[in-house]
Amino acid sequence: MIYKKEIIVFDLDGTLINSAPDLCFALNETLKEINIPVITLQEVMGYLGDGALELIKRGISKYEDVDNYDLEELRLRFLEIYDSCLLYETDFYENVLDSLEKLKQMNFTLAICSNKPELLTKRIIKGLNATDYFKTITGGDTFNYRKPDSRHLEKTILQSGKKIEQAIMIGDSENDILCANALNMPSIVVSFGYSKIPVKDLNATKIMSNYKNLINHIQEINNI
């Protein structure tokens, strides 16, 4: 079957995987070295989506002035710690693997467009035995721009050999949906991710509460 929308682009954290516990651990280990008190998991979930530097700044700013610290040094230290605990607790959300397998069997092209560094994104996907599902994986450092700059999403699609008008974006946050809307692209926002604002206010095409509904949502978009 030929689909109007034949490439599905996923965000990673909060969309395909629940990585918050490992990110929380790495953040607190980093901040402990500069005597910053513990940040809770719930708080960290509200800090995610804009890369390591913003995560660190948000953690510090709860207690101290960020200008008092060498943020680049802390970013590198955070990445070093996080690299050692990528898959302690991180895993796919319920029904993700089944959905990826069904989409592959239906001949959809799949890609990942994440603000996480590309190498870490690929290591996580490899560690979860899912590399073969994805034609293209890009991270926040793949290009000279990243989400919410829509060029990040656009370039990911083009690298996959597809056109913008053939794509659907699936994400959990404002960054993801802003990119899709800027490209006049249909989008699906998950209701269980790390969005800082209610997902109903993100202006996505569809809201998804469980991956068991993904195929239906894609088919509905293809029939519009």
**Average confidence (pLDDT) over 27-40:** 97
Average pLDDT in the chain: 96
138 and 107 assigned to the same domain: yes
Are residues 207 and 111 part of one domain? yes
132 is catalytic: no
Q: Are residues 100 and 167 in the same domain?
A: yes
pLDDT tens digits for 45-58? 999 988 899 999 99
- Per-residue pLDDT of 58-98, as tens digits, reads 999 999 999 999 999 999 999 999 999 999 999 999 999 99
- Same domain? For 52 and 132 the reply is no
Is pLDDT of 212 > 90?
yes
In a shared domain, residues 208 and 99 = yes
User: Looking at the domain assignment, is residue 75 inside a domain?
Assistant: yes
Domain CATH number, residue 12:
3.40.50.1000
Q: Are residues 78 and 189 in the same domain?
A: no
Give the C-alpha separation, 136 to 111, whole Å: 5
| Tokens at 195, concatenated | 């969005």
- Whether 2 maps to a domain, the answer reads no
DSSP label at residue 37: P
pLDDT reading at 2 higher than 80: no
Residue 133 sits in the same domain as residue 208: yes
Of 11, 13, 50, 176, the active-site residue reads: 11
Contact assessment for residue 9 and residue 157, using Cβ atoms and an 8 Å cutoff: yes
Q: How far apart are CA 212 and CA 159, in angstroms?
A: 28
Note whether 116 and 212 are same-domain residues: yes
Task: Using the predicted structure, report yes or no on whether residue 224 has a pLDDT greater than 70.
Answer: no
- Of 152, 151, 183, nearest to 168 by C-alpha is 183
The answer to the question of residue 147 being in a domain is: yes
Q: Do 107 and 53 fall into the same domain? A: no
Q: Which of 83, 106, 123 is the last residue of a domain?
A: 83
Q: Are residues 140 and 61 in the same domain?
A: no
> Could you give the CA distance from residue 84 to residue 77 in angstroms, rounded to a whole number?
11
Q: What range defines the domain where residue 59 resides?
A: 20-83
Domain of residue 28, CATH code? 1.10.150.240
Torsion 37-42-43-48 (CA) sign = positive
Domain count of the fold of the chain: 2
How many whole angstroms separate alpha carbon 189 and alpha carbon 207? 5
